[in-house]
Amino acid sequence: MTAPELLVESPQRNRGTYREVELDLQVRKRERVAEGVVVLTLADPAGADLPEWTPGAHIDLMMTPTLIRQYSLCGDTSNSAEWKVGVLLDPASRGGSQFVHDKLHEGATVRVRGPRNHFPMVQAARYKFIAGGIGITPIYTMIAAAAATNADWQLLYGGRTRSSMAFLDVLEDHGDRVSVCPQDETGMLDLAAELSAPDEDTVVYCCGPEGLLSAVEQACTSWPTGSLHIERFAAKAFEPSVGGDSAFEVECQRSGVSVTVPPDKTIYEAVEEAGVDVLGSCMEGVCGTCECDVIEGEPDPRDSVLSEAERESGATIMICVSRSRSERLVLDL
Ligand code: FES
């Protein structure tokens, strides 16, 4: 039996305590659920239970030591025997989705790390879900959770063509709560109409390609702070800082190590070189693996994970991309 190696057990702000493990799982089932999209069912080879997870969580598939990609879990949260991930074969794949489609057939084994949740579902009277393409995977589980609690919800789901859109058979059972909008039939999603009336009892959850996320962010500018929850699969572009980056000091309080982070290095690189144990994965500020608590100082967040409110609080930092506005940062490392 694979013994799950506990990597993290930590209370995270707004995210409850989560338990992250690393283990080898077997592909029990592989289903083609739409054009270019497969759903893998992963289970422990010896049948051991997998850690709990909540809607919005993702796992890392560690296909090779350097090919690590994040995929949202999209199965039943109450089924501790298996995890499911949906993977779109991206024509611009940098190797991850290609590996999944070419190599992860039924019976194959893959190293998995997680689960981790940077897109948690908050309690609300009403949910407005907006999904583009494979962005349906975290939303699909959220819909099941909303439906189970009798919450009021609506889904606006866009895709290139109907045949490229996953889970339509199940989603269309929800009747007029779901608007399916294949671009070749109905054109682009009408976000202006959908988000024209800010409502303090409604939260908006959106996942999809960058163009959709930016458009939703734009359309929600008049909504109450905290209404919009977004998950990115790719790094958001940041304006380079005026005059370039400066060096700053980082004190790793738990390790008792202090380092200077020069302009051409990340905090992650500088502390790792100094011998501090750090976890990382995407190195682009997208996956949240390297998040750590800020004890003192003012971070300069450049990640695509934290919400506006979380950025302003400065309570945590993604050390693979973010820097410091103060001359010194004290981190819980
Ligand atoms: S390693 Fe992914 S956010 Fe830092």
199-234 pLDDT, tens digit per residue, is: 999 999 999 999 999 999 999 999 999 999 999 888
Shared-domain flag, residues 54 and 145: no
What's the domain count of the chain?
3
CA of 111 to the centre of ligand 1 (A): 18
Q: Ligand 1 pocket test: which of 286, 316, 323 has the largest number of ligand atoms within 8 Å of its C-beta?
A: 286
13 pLDDT band, cuts 50/70/90, is: very low
Choose between 239 and 136: higher pLDDT. Answer: 136
Atom of ligand 1 nearest to the CA of 319: 4
Question: Would you say residue 292 lies in a domain?
Answer: yes
Whichever domain contains 285, its CATH number is 3.10.20.30
CA of 110 to the centre of ligand 1 (A): 21
Predicted confidence (pLDDT) per residue in 139-165, tens digit: 999 999 999 988 999 999 999 999 999
1 pLDDT band, cuts 50/70/90, is: very low
The helix or strand, by DSSP H or E, that contains position 206, with its residue range, turns out to be strand 202-207
User: Using a 6 Å cutoff on CB, does residue 267 contact ligand 1?
Assistant: no
Predicted confidence (pLDDT) per residue in 56-111, tens digit: 999 999 999 889 999 999 989 999 999 999 999 998 878 899 999 999 999 999 99
Which of 173, 168, 202 is CA-nearest to residue 185? 168
Question: Would you say residue 182 lies in a domain?
Answer: yes
CA of 268 to the centre of ligand 1 (A): 9
Distance CA 311, CA 225 (A): 13
User: Using a 6 Å cutoff on CB, does residue 280 contact ligand 1?
Assistant: yes
Do residues 216 and 223 touch, judged by C-beta distance below 8 A?
no
Atom of ligand 1 nearest to the CA of 70: 2
For residue 79, what are the domain limits?
21-116
107: left (phi over 0), alpha (psi -120 to 50) or beta: left
Distance CA 190, CA 279 (A): 40
CA of 46 to the centre of ligand 1 (A): 31
Q: Which of 231, 256, 281 is the last residue of a domain?
A: 231
